Structure 1
Amino acid sequence: MINYIMLILKHAELFTKSEQVRKRFLRKLVRNIKSALPDAKVNNRRMRIFVYAGNEEKAVEILRRVFGISSVAIGTEMRFDMEAVKRKALEISKAWDGSFAVKSQRLTKDIDMTSQQISSSIGAFIKKHRGLEVDLKNPKHVLFVEYFEGNAYLYTRTFQAVSGLPLSTAGKIIVENSDPYSLLSAWLMMRRGASIILRGSKDFLRYWDYGAEVEELAEIGDQEIQRADGIARPYISESSFVNGLPVFYPLAALDKKTCNKLLSFISKGELPPSFDLLL
């Protein structure tokens, strides 16, 4: 019998979309997650996506590379009973050896307690039984508590994910793999939801194409041009359209140092420490 662990996925950028578009993107994101982790159980609850997987380390590693997910947390799920939640929080705190903070959020407003009241109640309980100091500005340990439709979700570990938009929500883009910068262009278009038709080998893009595998072709012909919605190139030219397709230059705002730094991470299937590189 598999002992499933629960992962809480956030998808921050999707909340900027209209209700209709958000629902469509979420359906696609769930399909991509199932493609990435076919043995996992996936529960889309709109505000969060809950994934129940058997291998914690593998699941976190893969989910961090699924476009559309902004963070992954390893959590505990339980029915919301304040006394039971406080006891669970106390159990979690037994691994702590310094100051702490409790950060709560009500994702639905169907209980009388506010987020601040939940945090204060749990924090006071831990302080009473453990003698640890509360530090809201610079705590050594943080317990996150989320309330959603009668359940409480507790977690202390959060991992940054690739974010962006789910693959296959923004059309098909043709890319010619002439050098690593071409593949970086493809990766940046994938992060904006595009599926890639690639002339050449997808190389490190294999780490990132969950749910919409990169099409590897020896040549790009008329059939591919008819199926495509645009072309992405690493180097700016005078061309705005080629064969009737718009040409995108996703590296236009990035200098070579930034491009090389991004490539040093994503070419190994790793995330850069911060996506400030792309701002």
Structure 2
Amino acid sequence: MIIIRYGEIGLKRKLRRKFENLLINNIKNTLKNQGFKVKISTEWGRIYIHSSDESIARISAGVFGVTSTSVAIETSTEIEDIKNKAVEIGERLIGSGKSFAVRARRTGKHDFTSMDVQRIVGAELKKKTGSKVNLSAPDVKIYIEVRDNRSFIYTSFIRGFGGLPVGSQERVLSIVNDGKSILSSWYALRRGCEIDLLISGDYNEFREILFPWAGYRDIEVIKSSGDLKKLLNDAFELDYRGVYCSASFEEINSLISDSLLRNRKMPVFFPLMPFNGGYIEEKIKIVRSYFKTKSRIGGT
């Protein structure tokens, strides 16, 4: 079983079901285009994929709206079943000289507490492996989630990128006029916007790189030319709800000084403004490679 956790969409309570369904559809569509057909089920605050394939967990972590995924073993809520399954997993991972910790959380009504689970499972693991418990910096962590009538046991997280499901916000236009533009476009997608690209220069590959990040939703390419000021003027003549741009702080000041931004016809967003060059370069590497590599990368 693969557990999928999601974040910001939980804040929009009136539209929660709509956003959850959108996220599920985006996950299904992304996995389908990556060659996987899966069965998905849900319960409050969780999405489950009926598979143990770690590559599916990793691809799902790249869908905006997902905060993390884990490949888990499912069992009942009987404390003996939880203990036996957790010990079975732990014995494979806790080698000689390694320390461990058990982290348990519980929702629903049960005749035991989270602390009871940690104590019982921890004691049995210590007895079976002879290893020490280290709550602050263990070599191996055993996570146990008890949720109503079933439990899940896992040992790791694949971090997602958070944000909102693509398609939950209105379509915007992203200006592509330098190598950093792929990242400002990525941030537009992360805010849940569908995007089109206004491209000046030889950046047509950006559409293919951004396509899986967009949940394989259509991205139209509009060709243009000229400097940033010209591209913004072109953008303002088109029918979009906003414009994303990779401009630096200095470029933004220049645009403000000649009143172009003050007289704008739609909102203009500069998502890269807070970041230094090193951060931007590293993030671009992730954007370019995530759907091509099996390495575990994540975060915001």
What SS does structure 2 have at the residue aligned with 1:180? coil
Question: What are the Cα deviations for residues 12-62 of structure 1, in whole angstroms up to 9, with x where unaligned?
Answer: 3333x13213332212111101111231111121221111237x2431331
Distance 1:240 1:42, change over 3 A: farther
Pair 1:127-2:126 in alignment: yes
Distance 1:242 1:52, change over 3 A: farther
The correspondence of residues 70-149 of structure 1 with structure 2, limited to 5 A, is 70-95=67-92, 96-97=94-95, 98-106=98-106, 108-149=107-148
2:238 is aligned to 225
Rounded to whole Å, the distance in 1 between the matches of 2:124 and 2:138 is: 17
Match of 2:209 among 204, 208, 211: 204
Q: Sequence identity of aligned pairs in percent?
A: 26
Residue 207 of structure 1, CA deviation? 3.7
Pair 1:48-2:61 in alignment: no
Distance 1:109 1:272, change over 3 A: closer
The answer to whether the 8 A contact 1:64-1:72 is kept is yes
What SS does structure 2 have at the residue aligned with 1:268? helix
Residue 264 of structure 1, CA deviation? 2.2
Q: Which runs of 5+ in 1 are unaligned?
A: 1-5
Rounded to whole Å, the distance in 2 between the matches of 1:160 and 1:73 is: 9
What SS does structure 2 have at the residue aligned with 1:245? coil
2:181 is aligned to 182
What SS does structure 1 have at the residue aligned with 2:286? helix
The answer to whether the 8 A contact 1:241-1:247 is kept is no
2:16 is aligned to 22
Residue 241 of structure 1, CA deviation? 6.8
The answer to whether the 8 A contact 2:68-2:160 is kept is yes
Q: How many residues align?
A: 267
The answer to whether the 8 A contact 1:31-1:211 is kept is no
The structure that has the greater radius of gyration is 2
Rounded to whole Å, the distance in 2 between the matches of 1:215 and 1:53 is: 34
* CA RMSD in angstroms, aligned pairs only: 2.5
2:274 is aligned to 253
Q: Which runs of 5+ in 2 are unaligned?
A: 225-230
What SS does structure 2 have at the residue aligned with 1:103? strand
Using the size of structure 2 for normalisation, the TM-score is 0.81
Rounded to whole Å, the distance in 2 between the matches of 1:153 and 1:128 is: 22
Residue 217 of structure 1, CA deviation? 3.7
Rounded to whole Å, the distance in 2 between the matches of 1:256 and 1:130 is: 47
Distance 1:7 1:190, change over 3 A: same
- Which sits farther off after the overlay, 185-194 or 17-26? 17-26
1:3 is aligned to none
Residue 259 of structure 1, CA deviation? 1.5
Question: One-letter code of the match for 1:7?
Answer: I
Question: Greater helix percent: which structure?
Answer: 2
Question: One-letter code of the match for 1:36?
Answer: T
Question: One-letter code of the match for 1:206?
Answer: F
Rounded to whole Å, the distance in 2 between the matches of 1:243 and 1:216 is: 22
